[in-house]
Amino acid sequence: MVDPPMMQFHPKSRPRAPIFFMVITIALSQAGHHASAFDLPANSTQCLLGRAESWDSSHATLQLFEKSNNHWQPQGATWKARLGKNGLIWGRGLHPLPKNASIKKEGDMRSPAGAFRIGGAWGYDPSIRKHPLLPYRKITPCDLWVEDPSSPHYNQHLVLDRPPSSAWEKKQQMKQTDSAHALKLYIGHNSKPQTIPGDGSSIFFHIWRAEGAKPTAGCTTMDETKLRQLIANIDPSRNPIYILLPEPEYAKLRKAWKLP
């Protein structure tokens, strides 16, 4: 498991360093260019497989797999998820970017595709106990997630040592009363140490809206019960992998990448 990047914090904040575990997503360029060689972790024995109909689809199906004797075995049935309103697009993560690939931008309403770290869980409850190994932080009024591309702390979590007072701080404040954000998992798109201003921020797995009737601004969402089940079953010691592919690319890559 790769060590997490160091997080930077606002001078008037106190640092929090959540433990990170690895989650991988694999995809191809929208422009039709194949991704460069990228080896899946040999010690990854847990996989969340996500499949979308196309790059422009805002719907996906998810299914959890575990590897036994070098074979992927399904762990339960598939379930539904929602993606960005405009579908998927290459994000900035662990993967090499294809030549001339379109890259996610702030406000493009697309979910980032690629290989990403994923951080711990965040939410409104004081704690979650379904998986003691999973890092969790209760969101407070002092928690900010910077979505301002002009800030040196773009796409970073900040913890103020006091309630937010300025208009800027209040705008960056993590959501406090939104039921869709009552529980979520961080996806390490465009994260340190190679954060590019404007290339997208604040990407999470979280609870969907209107029972799945609404797409997202870029996050991946699902039913709350399914999200809680996922959190309960994800095992960081297995080096879990998250694979998201449009169906045609999944068919092309399945054998080559030894996917479920």
Q: What is the per-residue pLDDT for 28?
A: 40
Mean pLDDT of 64-86: 94
CA–CA dist 251, 255 (Å, integer):
8
Q: Tell me which of 73-82, 185-194, 241-250 is least confident.
A: 241-250
| 103 pLDDT more than 90 | yes
CA–CA dist 95, 114 (Å, integer):
6
| 116 pLDDT more than 80 | no
User: H or E stretch including 229?
Assistant: helix 224-233
Candidates 173, 176, 183, 167; CA nearest to 223 is 183
User: H or E stretch including 172?
Assistant: helix 167-172
Who wins on pLDDT, 166 or 242? 166
Contact by Cβ (8 Å): 26, 257: yes
> Could you give the percent of the chain with pLDDT greater than 70?
84
Please write the tens of the pLDDT for every residue from 6-26.
333 444 444 443 444 444 444
Please write the tens of the pLDDT for every residue from 157-194.
999 999 999 999 999 999 889 999 999 988 878 988 88
Mean pLDDT of 58-80: 93
Q: Tell me which of 43-52, 180-189, 207-216 is least confident.
A: 43-52
Task: Please identify which residue in the block is written with the tokens 């994800």.
Answer: 234
| 208 pLDDT more than 60 | yes
Q: What is the per-residue pLDDT for 37?
A: 58
Contact by Cβ (8 Å): 76, 70: no
| 32 pLDDT more than 60 | no
